[in-house]
Amino acid sequence: MGKIILTGDRPTGKLHLGHYIGSLRRRVQLQEAGDYDRMFVFMADVQALTDNADNPEKIRQNLIEVALDYLSAGLSPDKCTLYVQSQIPELAELTTYLMNLITVSRVQRNPTVKTEIKMRNFEANIPLGFFCYPVSQAADILAFNATTIPAGEDQEPMLEVTREIARRFNQTYSEVFVEPNIMLPENATARRLPGTDGKEKMSKSLGNCIYLSDDADTVWQKIRSMYTDPDHLRVDDPGKVEGNAVFTYLDAFSTDDDFAEFWPEYKNLQELKDHYTRGGLGDMKCKKFLNQILNKMLEPIRVRRHEFEQDIPAIYDILKKGSEDAREVAAKTMDEVRKAMRIDYFNDAELIRQQAERFRK
Ligand code: TRP
């Protein structure tokens, strides 16, 4: 079996820099490297509905936003299958069967589910569909026999569950599934980008995001008011780079080439940090530099986005075609699943013959 990459996002909002550095950029690199047999990227609208059942319009509106973010970031329908989870009914079917292979208490112990229940104040009234989403996520992965899941650390418990279910299935019925592995972001800053307010995480609900779709003015406004070192009041004061969002972003995004291009006074980030720490370097200069870097990165994405926006029906066509292709793969897996589970009655000539014999008087 080959190497198959699969990953997805809940379409609950536009994608921001945290998504980009944490996974989207990596996906595009993986796509370009071509060092795999197939790549699937999907919008997890079914999963998004598990905690937005009363607001399907939100998912409907954001589906196209995320599709535009994918395409403008550089994912290409020629190189990777882009699809929509709800359009693959085989996934719901597989989820139903996989639910028998895991216990309620096992899901209850899932740290990601636990955190999400707290965050959403679901404690007393957990929607059953939400509770079961780790199993649905296992189905997302196993239906495509994906080997490699590029995702953040928070998805690790989901992968645990997926591997466990795959093992249980293979032991209980027969070897159908491969156990997938997570592919984590390369470094700490890529794993969790703080918000522009310096808070731990960039997140829509905190209002501290820079979106891939923000225009240059908006990005500059956001950078200008970014959190730095609250004790760095005058330019001459020594500054702190730890916990300083501007420097965390520079850690995540700047390269030595950026210094050569925009700020040749410094060879690299370390020299800049040293100066800032010593004192004598103002926040504004650093912010301007960050703005140049981010805009250089975002500009080609904006240009592509603008092009894609001119033909929205074509985007839906891409997703439709991708969903059809994905469905074909999932349907093949389901044939194997039904066979392994011995519920392939009508395709099993041997079964029909045996039963005929048994009842013949
Ligand atoms: N849980 C992921 C998120 O919250 C989305 C997702 C659903 C996913 N199914 C997946 C990611 C399968 C990787 C593989 O963003």
What is the Å distance from ligand 1's center to 246 Cα? 29
Query: Can you tell me which atom of ligand 1 is nearest the CA of 136?
Result: 9
Does 204-308 carry CATH code 1.10.240.10?
yes
Cα angle, residue 336 at apex, residues 322 and 354 outer, rounded to 5°: 145
Cβ 228 vs Cβ 239: under 8 Å: yes
pLDDT at 120: 85
For residue 141, give the ligand 1 atom closest to its CA: 12
DSSP H helical ranges for 37-88: 45-49, 56-73
The structure tokens 């950026």 sit at 258
Shortest-distance Cα residue to atom 15 of ligand 1: 9
Residue identifier of the C-alpha nearest atom 9 of ligand 1? 137
Q: Above 90 in pLDDT, residue 294? A: yes
Q: Is 290 left (phi over 0), alpha (psi -120 to 50) or beta?
A: alpha
Q: Is there a contact between 228 and 246 (Cβ–Cβ < 8 Å)?
A: yes
Amino acid (1-letter code) at residue 160: E
Q: Taking the mean position of all CA atoms in its chain, how far away is CA 285?
A: 33
Q: Which residue has the higher pLDDT, 5 or 188?
A: 5
Q: Longest Cα pair distance anywhere in the chain, in angstroms?
A: 101
CA of 248 to the centre of ligand 1 (A): 26
Mean pLDDT of the chain: 95
Q: pLDDT for 211-237, tens place per residue?
A: 999 999 999 999 999 999 999 999 999
Tens-digit pLDDT profile for residues 72-101: 999 999 999 999 999 999 999 999 999 999
Domains 4-192+311-353 and 204-308 share a fold: no
Closest CA to 70 of 330, 322, 342: 322
Q: Could you tell me which CATH number the domain at 4-192+311-353 has?
A: 3.40.50.620
Phi, psi of 344 (to 5 degrees): -100, 45
pLDDT of residue 304 exceeding 60, the answer is yes
| 7 within ligand 1 shell (Cβ under 6 A) | yes
- Any ligand 1 atom below 6 A from CB of 47: yes
- Average pLDDT on 272-290 reads 97
With a 6 A CB cut-off, is 41 part of the ligand 1 pocket? no
pLDDT of 361 over the 80 cut: no
Give the residue with greater pLDDT, 341 vs 124: 341
Give the residues across from 39 on adjacent strands.
5
Edge-to-edge order in the sheet of strand 4-9 = 81-84, 38-43, 4-9, 148-150, 181-183
Residue whose CA is closest, atom 14 of ligand 1?
7
What per-residue confidence (pLDDT) applies to 187? Answer: 79
* Cα Rg of the chain (Å, integer): 24
Residue 171 reports pLDDT greater than 70: yes
Pocket test for ligand 1, best of 4, 140, 148, 202 (most atoms within 8 A of CB): 140
Whole-model pTM: value is 0.94
* Mean pLDDT, residues 103-121: 91
Query: Residue 84: beta bridge partners?
Result: 43
Q: Give the separation between CA 361 and CA 356, rounded to whole angstroms.
A: 10
Query: What confidence tens digit (pLDDT) does each residue in 251-260 have?
Result: 999 999 999 9
pLDDT(1) > 70 = no
Q: How far is the CA of 44 from the centre of ligand 1 (A)?
A: 7
How many Å lie between the centroid of ligand 1 and the Cα of residue 227? Answer: 30
Q: CA nearest 123: which of 132, 115, 133?
A: 115
Q: Determine the distance separating the centroid of ligand 1 and the alpha carbon of 12, expressed in angstroms.
A: 12
Q: Are strands 4-9 and 181-183 parallel, antiparallel or unpaired?
A: unpaired
* Of 125, 141, 114, residue with least CA distance to 40: 141
Atom 8 of ligand 1 has which residue's CA nearest to it?
8
Higher pLDDT, 337 or 118: 337
290 lines ligand 1 (CB under 6 A): no
Confidence tier at 153 by pLDDT (50, 70, 90):
confident
Helix (H) or strand (E) holding 40: strand 38-43
Rounded distance between C-alpha atoms, residue 150 and residue 24, angstroms = 9
Domains of the chain, by residue range, sit at: 4-192+311-353, 204-308
Q: What is the distance, to the nearest Å, from the Cα of residue 328 to the centroid of all Cα atoms in its chain?
A: 23
C-alpha of residue 8 to centroid of ligand 1, in Å = 5
Per-residue pLDDT of 36-45, as tens digits, reads 999 999 999 9
Among 70-79, 169-178, 204-213, which is the least confidently predicted range? 204-213
